[in-house]
Amino acid sequence: MAVLEAHNSRRATHHFMPLVWNDEGFENAQKQAEACAKAEKRLAKNYIECLSGRHGQNSLGPTKTPHEWTSEAAEALVNVWYMEKEKYDWQNPGPSRPADRFIQMMWASTSSVGMALSHDGRFCVANYFPAVGKKMSFDYKRNLRPPQEGPAPWLAAEESKDIPEHLLMAPCTESNWKAHEKVSELLEEGARWVSADKMDTALPDLDPF
């Protein structure tokens, strides 16, 4: 799927595990995208309440031109969020509003994504689980890192002499795998979607795209 490829190719550059698709996140992202289209502006984040916590949310729009779901569109839309990495201060890990969308899509502990376009193709919304939420600075240092040299450990050839054996044998933390497993359970639980009508906030009128 193009959305996963767009996310995971970038996460691999930072040596973070790939995301899986989240149907629940997609359904709620679709509702939020349509709410934005109806309001003709990007609305405040509409967090999805789950039994285990919230989904994080990225949004984009209105774009100058409408989009359809193609591989090229997925790449371009996700790249807008990814390029916020240029605004993140790697020397001082912590929350960064200018890089907020980059942080959510790249967060190491995030394990799934559901992404949707509005019917007019001018608004894009993606929901992520687990969300970044309110974290301490040491959480940012652990869950974010700049681009790394070489391929991600789990992508390297087994006979490679350049990748340390301990990385080849243990490409991610146990907590990350548990997060992947929890996603499957949550997809069957359902979630509460709250109208964003009263959640409006001042956001840019037009994304530079």
- Both tokens of 89, joined, read 């201060």
In a domain, 80, yes or no: yes
How many structural domains does the chain have? 1
Which residues does residue 113 pair with via DSSP β-bridges, in sequence order? Answer: 21, 128
pLDDT at 91: 92
Upstream peptide bond of 130 is cis (omega within 30 degrees of 0): yes
Give me the CATH number covering residue 85.
Answer: 3.40.33.10
- The answer to whether the predicted template modeling score (pTM) of the entire model surpasses 0.95 is no
Domain that holds residue 140: 2-186
| Residue 56 β-bridge partners | 128
Q: Label residue 180 exposed, middle or buried (CB < 10 Å: 0-12, 13-18, 19+).
A: middle
20-45 pLDDT, tens digit per residue, is 999 888 988 999 999 999 999 988 77
Which of 156, 180, 181 minimizes the C-alpha distance to 167? 156
Torsion of CA 56, 151, 3, 134, to 10 degrees: 0
Please report whether residue 143 resides in a domain.
yes
Tell me the two tokens of residue 153. Answer: 């450990």
**Which two tokens mark 167?**
């990385």
Tell me, what's the pLDDT at 51?
A: 54
Q: Is residue 207 part of a domain?
A: no
Sign of CA dihedral 157, 22, 147, 124: positive
| pLDDT at residue 184, rounded to an integer | 54
Picking from 21-35, 49-63, 108-122, which range would have the lowest pLDDT averaged per residue? 49-63
Does residue 204 fall inside a structural domain? no
- Residue 60 in any domain: the answer is yes
Query: Looking at residue 138, what is its pLDDT?
Result: 73
Q: Is residue 161 part of a domain?
A: yes
In a domain, 202, yes or no: no
Asked whether residue 84 is domain-assigned, the answer is yes
